Amino acid sequence: MTMKKLSNIKPKKSLGQNFLINQGILDKIIGTAEVGPEDTVVEIGPGTGNLTRKLSEKAKRIIAVEKDRRLIEELKDKFHNSNVKIVEGDILKLDIKKLFENCKLKIENCDYKVIGNIPYYITSNFLRTVFEKWPKPKLIVLTVQKEVAQRIVAKPPHMNLLALSVQFYSSPTIIGYVSKGSFRPIPKVDSAIIRIVPKKDMPTDKDLFFKIIKAGFSGKRKQLKNTLVRIFASKEKTVEILNELRVNPDSRPEELSVESWLKLTTLISTS
């Protein structure tokens, strides 16, 4: 049987396949995640195994989930008899608890790290999946599209729904930028390494928080006194509550920090 080399497989655009070839960047990802001999790591999209190889030298064990069947056999060969378990699957659909059970692992909150150079179009979907469906990871380190990273870490007056959604669950920071040339094939966009630390305690009523931020960002007349009427019975009441929080009722949702939205949520749920 002739063994097909990984490099002979034609990368699929539809799966966001841009493989990281810059060793310095691979090291930076691993350094950012502070991977050590105690760590269990879930890697998203091992691809040709560049990051996986380095992870396997540092971590206790790696569970690497890859959607592209063409890559699976070779990855399994490559990491045969190692601390890497290659799993074929779609990370957005996978039952993570079952996966841990299958690996005979009992994973508690904050007991594992999530690392990956992910396909960029799944970024927000993937983060939502982790935050809402998975046991809480200790740390998440991803390479994502530069502009998306910047939206995720946004502060007032540039807040947006993605930033608020991620910052509700975690504290994200950009660690550094990665130029297109670090990947093969070379992508159209630049990238960033992002470090996301999940919050220990969920501060407030999640459903209400999301209902309020969606109301706040809805419609064309985006002054808070106009959009939040949907939540409060009347404009008078809305203005009164915003004043109580020392938020100018004329301000726009981009100007409010996650803390202000959290305060608003607490106020509504207790009033």
Q: Which residues bind ligand SAH (CB under 6 A)?
A: 15-20, 44-48, 50-51, 65-68, 90-92, 117, 119, 122
Query: Which CB atom, from 15 or from 215, has the smaller least distance to ligand SAH?
Result: 15
State the amino acid at position 67 in one-letter form: K
Q: State the nearest-atom distance from the C-beta of 197 to ligand SAH, in Å.
A: 21
Rounded to the nearest whole angstrom, what is the least distance from the CB of residue 238 to ligand SAH in the complex?
Answer: 41
Closest distance between ligand SAH and the C-beta of residue 163, in Å?
Answer: 23
Cβ atoms 261, 164 nearer than 8 A: yes
Q: Which is nearer to ligand SAH, 48 or 145 (CB)?
A: 48
- Least separation, in Å, of the C-beta of 78 and ligand SAH? 13
Is the backbone peptide bond immediately before 185 cis, with ω within 30 degrees of 0?
yes
Query: What's the length of the chain?
Result: 271
Least distance in Å: CB of 26 to ligand SAH?
A: 7
Q: How many CB atoms lie within 10 A of CB 105?
A: 14
Nearer to ligand SAH, 59 or 91 (CB): 91
Q: Which residue is nearest to ligand SAH (CB)?
A: 45
Do 106 and 100 meet the contact criterion of CB atoms below 8 Å apart? yes
Three-class secondary structure of residue 191 per DSSP: strand
Least distance in angstroms from the C-beta of 191 to ligand SAH: 10
Question: What distance in Å separates the CA atoms of residue 254 and residue 31, rounded to the nearest whole number?
Answer: 33
Compute the chain's Rg from CA coordinates.
21
Tokens, residue 196: 């996301």
Where do the DSSP E strands lie in the chain?
19-20, 40-44, 61-66, 84-88, 113-117, 139-145, 170-178, 183-184, 191-198
**Closer to ligand SAH at the Cβ: 88 or 205?**
88
Nearer to ligand SAH, 87 or 224 (CB): 87
Nearer to ligand SAH, 20 or 212 (CB): 20
Q: Would you call the peptide bond into 137 cis, given omega within 30 degrees of 0 as the criterion? A: no
- Report yes or no: 152 and 163 within 8 Å, Cβ to Cβ: yes
What tokens were used for 65?
Answer: 């989930």
Question: Which of 21, 267 has the CB closer to ligand SAH?
Answer: 21
* DSSP 3-state percent helix, strand, coil across the chain (nearest 5): 45, 20, 40
Nearest distance from residue 201's CB to ligand SAH, in Å?
29
CA–CA dist 160, 255 (Å, integer): 9
